[in-house]
Amino acid sequence: MADEKKMTGEVYHPAPEVVANAHITDYDKVNDQATKDLAGFWGKIASENFEWYQPWEKVLDDSNAPFYKWFVGAKTNIVHNALDRHVRSANRNKAALIFEGEQGDRRTYTYQQLNHEVCKFASVLRSMGVGKGDRVTIYMGRVPELMIAMLACAKVGAMHSVVYGGFSTEALLDRIEDSKSKILITCDGAWLRGNIIELKKIANDAVDRAGTIQSVICVKRTGQDVEMVPGRDYWYHDLMTLPVVDPNAPTEVMDAEDPLFILYTSGTTGKPKAILHTHGGYMVWTATTLKWVFDLKREDVWWCAADPGWITGHSYIVYAPLVLGITSFMYEGAPTHPYPDRWWSLVARYGISVLYTAPTAIRGLMRFGESWPNKHDLSSLRLLGSVGEPINPEAWKWYYRVIGKEKCPIMDTWWQTETGGFMITPLPCVPLKPGSATRAFPGVVVDVVDEEGEPVGVNEEGYLVIKTPWPGMLRTIFGDPDRFVQQYWSRYEEQGWYLPGDSARKDEDGYIWVIGRIDDVIKVSGYRLGTAEIESALVSHPAVAEAAVIGLPDEVKGNIIKAFCILRQGYEGSSKLEQELRDHVGKEMGPIAKPASVAIVDSLPKTRSGKIMRRVLKAQEMGQDVGDLSTLAD
């Protein structure tokens, strides 16, 4: 542990009782062990905490880097560790998932019950010919069936590709086509802010245009009339009563390195990338990081308030909590429905002990004032977490004081879809600085460097790099291994470092302060959106010839989107058209991608090679110096 007196800046030291009872009480000691013998460290953790059908020959194979392999030759299935082993133990009747719908409906699944549903649905999938290596797209709201569908895919060895329910037709279509999914699992609708999002309708539009989907499975959630195509579409509840359904369906034996899922995320250019994770390494990484960082114990009630449609939900709603055998809580709807104290009432009702959410949600709830949380008994909370973007010290302190009552440490976890789990994060024994994700997880070596790879000075901005492999690392971009190498491993090819695409600085105490993205990725409410995808949506409107989008700072959302459009001949700018373009993006991409404003322009700043210089647009908007314009065409 760092020496109390020597640290700079505002420091919050953990209470002695928090440290004494934690899984990890001495960060430096564990970090030393891990860095000295990375393979030995992870080999020991993997054999002591997980079940394998067959052990590995080698923990880490780096002979074909950056295509690293972990637990080479081992056989397992993450579902064996998440469900099968628990239903054989005393955990059988423990709550695995407690769910509350936005309308107030409640459900609890024990490990036994959840396993039963997963087995049944796995046999439905098998009866439709789904097996090892197949891709299944899942497009649903935040309901237990989403978790059941994901686990059932993993159980039969198929890769799920979950598309966030807030995305719309174009985004769903791209992801179905890129993954060549044969099956789509969806809902009739989803509840949000008292309204119904018509998921089946959007799914129908996408499936009609996508060539690959043979069957659609639809979960009844909202109950409104939806169009079901005979011979293609089936109700989930009908399939679950068929004679093929086997409540004891066997779990497929998988290689540790076999794909578990793909998840699309936005990158610098072009279409979204399908990030691929595996059964073995991802399981070890997500469960161990969750256990150590949030110090989870048997009696905890864990609430990760993200959406299962994003990596946060994959790792820390679905997989890691089940592998650890703990109780998770899931809430379907909006934090402010029907009143701004919905979340706080849930913490009190279910006795939530660890809450993990995003800065944008904290800032959004902060606006309503302290009286809403103060109406509820939040004394069950013992740890808090944050993820998605840098947390402003203001929001950190509000979270700490008003929600955590100055007794809950805040784990500000930096990681990415690509990393599978936490990478830079405090552990409960690490002193905290509001706004810093502190230090790397044991065994992870990070640094802040310049273009050449030389470390930059203390507190100077540079590129964040990761210098060591870790079990939860992405294995490739599905269908595009060249892009995987190019995107993440080419900048520091000689050194063999991973480039996350963030800028950061390191302070006097070695604490990392993440500043933001260095590429054309915009974080809106913590969601990662690529400029390219939004621009394509704009250009798909008949009035738009060319478009550029930028992110501008926003108090609650972190960033909002501003679009610049050049119109085609015959079209004229008007506020009506601007509104129409905003709605068009909302309809094509989804409400999160909707620009806050649209400007009609005659030209866009470009390099001589024709690349749009978004930084020039941004500097202009913010009244800043536009910087070096030597590459500008005119």
Interface residues with ligand WT7 (CB under 6 A) are 265, 311-312, 387-390, 412-417, 437, 500-502, 514, 517, 528
We find the least distance from the C-beta atom of residue 329 to ligand WT7, in angstroms, to be: 19
Distance of CA 430 to the CA centre of its chain: 24
Which CB, 169 or 357, lies closer to ligand WT7?
357
Tell me which residue has tokens 């908007």: 621
- Kindly give the pairing relationship between strand 159-162 and strand 259-265: parallel
Which CB, 126 or 557, lies closer to ligand WT7?
557
In whole angstroms, how far apart are CA 631 and each of 337, 371, 518, 612? 49, 53, 18, 11
CB distance 424 to 446 below 8 Å:
yes
We find the least distance from the C-beta atom of residue 399 to ligand WT7, in angstroms, to be: 13
We find the least distance from the C-beta atom of residue 521 to ligand WT7, in angstroms, to be: 7
We find the least distance from the C-beta atom of residue 389 to ligand WT7, in angstroms, to be: 5
Pick the closest to residue 547 from 557, 537, 559 (CA basis). Answer: 537
> Burial code of 583-620, b = ≥16 C-beta within 10 A, e = fewer?
ebbbbbbbebbbbeebebbeebbbeeeeebbbebbbbe
Q: Please tell me the distance from the alpha carbon of residue 580 to that of residue 322, in angstroms, as a whole number.
A: 45
We find the least distance from the C-beta atom of residue 66 to ligand WT7, in angstroms, to be: 18
Which CB, 7 or 515, lies closer to ligand WT7?
515
Which CB, 259 or 434, lies closer to ligand WT7?
434
List CB contacts of 171: < 8 A, sequence separation 6 or more.
163, 533, 588, 589, 590, 593
Which CB, 181 or 559, lies closer to ligand WT7?
559
- Kindly give the pairing relationship between strand 273-278 and strand 476-477: antiparallel
Which CB, 164 or 350, lies closer to ligand WT7?
164
Q: Please tell me the distance from the alpha carbon of residue 45 to that of residue 43, in angstroms, as a whole number.
A: 6
We find the least distance from the C-beta atom of residue 426 to ligand WT7, in angstroms, to be: 10
For 316, which DSSP code?
I
We find the least distance from the C-beta atom of residue 5 to ligand WT7, in angstroms, to be: 27
Vertex 276 angle, CA 271 and 279, to 5°: 165
We find the least distance from the C-beta atom of residue 573 to ligand WT7, in angstroms, to be: 34
Which CB, 168 or 417, lies closer to ligand WT7?
417
**C-alpha dihedral sign at 604, 607, 608, 610:** negative
List CB contacts of 114: < 8 A, sequence separation 6 or more.
83, 96, 97, 144, 147, 148, 151, 322
We find the least distance from the C-beta atom of residue 433 to ligand WT7, in angstroms, to be: 13
We find the least distance from the C-beta atom of residue 502 to ligand WT7, in angstroms, to be: 5
Cβ contacts of 40-45, under 8 Å, gap ≥ 24: 41/442, 41/443, 42/70, 42/284, 42/443, 42/471, 45/284, 45/288
What count of other Cβ atoms lies within 10 Å of the Cβ of residue 575?
9
Q: Please tell me the distance from the alpha carbon of residue 522 to that of residue 264, in angstroms, as a whole number.
A: 15
CB distance 434 to 391 below 8 Å:
yes
We find the least distance from the C-beta atom of residue 335 to ligand WT7, in angstroms, to be: 17
Which CB, 191 or 302, lies closer to ligand WT7?
302
Which CB, 308 or 500, lies closer to ligand WT7?
500
Which CB, 483 or 606, lies closer to ligand WT7?
483
Question: Residue type at 230?
Answer: P
